[in-house]
Structure 1
Amino acid sequence: MSDFLILILSGLLAGAMNALAGGGSFVTLPALMAAGVPSVMANASSTVALYPGGAASALVYRNGLAPVCGVRAGPMLSVTLAGGLAGALLLLWTPTSIFDRVLPWLLLVATLMLAFGPRLGAILRARLPAGSGAVLAVQALLGLYGGYFGGAVGLMMIAAWSLLTGADVKTLNPPRTLMVTAANTAAVLCFAVAGAVHWPATLLTGAGALAGGYLGAHLGRRLPPGLVWAVTLIIAIGMTAMFFMRAYR
């Protein structure tokens, strides 16, 4: 299969995955590396390539936005943008080898929160009600992570929010898509200015992601919440296992 087709198809699949649950970067990152893009540049290029698809999904979901854990979208958006900018600058200034070792464990925590979040969240909410300050602090850290690496940041947002609220995954999809796009906006600007993007491969992957994100968002609005949750959990488990193999093989 040619690099052209690999990049287009990986973008299409990743865009749909991000619209439904997240995790599309795990498809585009190895595809870009298989096309000969160096790993650090592939990471930055993957973020840029998936940005249009995420923006298209956010456009589709715009009418479904609601407060997250009782916090309005405005403050959540502000801290996510700030976190994304800080994370992108951190990536450009520091090596990623240490973070690559930590990443699988972060994904494992996110997967466990996603799997047991509703049950555990009900217990924690009864004993430790989360205020807006705590929610914004968590969101700032998620934005930082999104700007620095971004892999499964959408899954981690849903996992964290599921722990703090009783809303189902389908309800959380609109704000999740917007916040991921916000974190990526800061990262994309930093990567472009720093010359860390392989533009030919990025444009091909991004074209597929744009179509996949738009179609996936429409599909996500029609699927039952239980099915969306199950698909999200399967993707989270698969991504966690693959990142463990990638880091410790």
Structure 2
Amino acid sequence: MPEVVTYLLLAGSAFLAGAINSVAGGGTLLTFPTLLGTGIADTVANATSTLALFPGSFAGSWAYRRELRSVRKFVLRMLPVSVVGGLIGSLLLVWFPSAFKVIVPWLILTAAVLFLIQPTLNRYVRMHQGEHGKVSTSVTVGVMAFQFLVAVYGGYFGAGIGILMLTALSFMHVGDIHHMNAVKTFLAAMINFVSVIVFIVDDLIRWDYAAVMCVSAIVGGYLGAHFGRKLPAVYIRWTVIVIGFGLAAYYFAKQ
């Protein structure tokens, strides 16, 4: 494949991923397989994809700074387990790269299933959300343990962690859906931040690809947030779902 075409495909996938993440989520399901198509190793593709989409997560956290201020105590409580879990997940990717190649189809399938059941989980979240109310210690510990597992998965692969976090946060009465989205976005950004550091230290980033994709993802994220309100999110979500299941089937068949 000509190098110019490769860069155009990577830029296009990152642009679409940034736009999709700003509306529905699931951008990793576009950038990761596109990077794999260039012939680089699975772990390098995953690491480069994480770095390429990280600026969007960070920008989203900044956009939610007002909501975050009102729930900062809860965020600080969840931050250590998120950072430690993300660190462990990214180290597992570095330490056991051969295992990652084997479970890639399962990771993609898991992400696709999460997006498929997202409306059901969203309804569940709305039923349990609230701005006030006491939360038992056992529920708090359970949510923190669940967040740790989500962070490990996020550090290792990451597609769909926002959906998982929103479901758990619905038990904690941290506020309305906007406050929960703020917490979810910030914690996801911190998980990605830790992962990116590990991937950089272990030289897993394909920098020329990452640079092009970062810029495209930022532009896509901005335009997606600006124009996404005019396009029904359900169409975008089903596009991600179809792509996810198709990719999972492809990689299962390839194995």
TM superposition score category, shorter chain reference: 0.7 to 0.9
Matches within 5 A, 1:1-249: 2-65=5-68, 72-94=74-96, 95-104=99-108, 106-107=110-111, 110-111=114-115, 113-117=117-121, 122=127, 131-161=139-169, 172-217=180-225, 223=229, 230=234, 234=238, 237-238=241-242, 240-249=244-253
Aligned-pair identity in percent equals 32
Answer with 236-245 or 156-165: which moved more: 156-165
* Cα distance in 2, alignment partners of residues 60 and 120 from structure 1: 25
* Cα distance in 2, alignment partners of residues 61 and 231 from structure 1: 25
Post-superposition offset of 1:8 = 1.8
Residue aligning to 2:132? none
| TM-score relative to the length of structure 1 | 0.79
Q: Deviations over 1:142-200 (max 9, x none)?
A: 11111011122223333444577797766543222211111111100000000111110
Distance 1:195 1:133, change over 3 A: same
* Cα distance in 2, alignment partners of residues 245 and 2 from structure 1: 26
Query: Match of 1:91, as an amino acid?
Result: L
* Cα distance in 2, alignment partners of residues 58 and 231 from structure 1: 25
* Cα distance in 2, alignment partners of residues 178 and 58 from structure 1: 5
Q: Deviations over 1:48-73 (max 9, x none)?
A: 111112212221222233788x9811
How many pairs does the alignment contain? 240
* Cα distance in 2, alignment partners of residues 195 and 6 from structure 1: 23
Post-superposition offset of 1:115 = 2.9
* Cα distance in 2, alignment partners of residues 2 and 11 from structure 1: 14
Query: Match of 1:158, as an amino acid?
Result: L
Answer with 168-177 or 148-157: which moved more: 168-177
| TM-score relative to the length of structure 2 | 0.77
Distance 1:65 1:46, change over 3 A: same
Show structure 1 runs of 5+ residues with no match: none
Q: Tell me which structure has the larger Cα radius of gyration.
A: 2
Q: Is the 8 A contact 2:42 2:101 kept in 1?
A: no
Q: Deviations over 1:24-70 (max 9, x none)?
A: 111111222233433221111111111112212221222233788x9
Query: Match of 1:2, as an amino acid?
Result: V
* Cα distance in 2, alignment partners of residues 216 and 71 from structure 1: 31
Post-superposition offset of 1:234 = 3.0
Show structure 2 runs of 5+ residues with no match: 129-134
* Cα distance in 2, alignment partners of residues 175 and 144 from structure 1: 17
| Root-mean-square deviation (Å) | 3.4
* Cα distance in 1, alignment partners of residues 177 and 140 from structure 2: 20
Post-superposition offset of 1:214 = 3.6
Q: Deviations over 1:204-239 (max 9, x none)?
A: 11111122234445567xx49xx65x4675366335
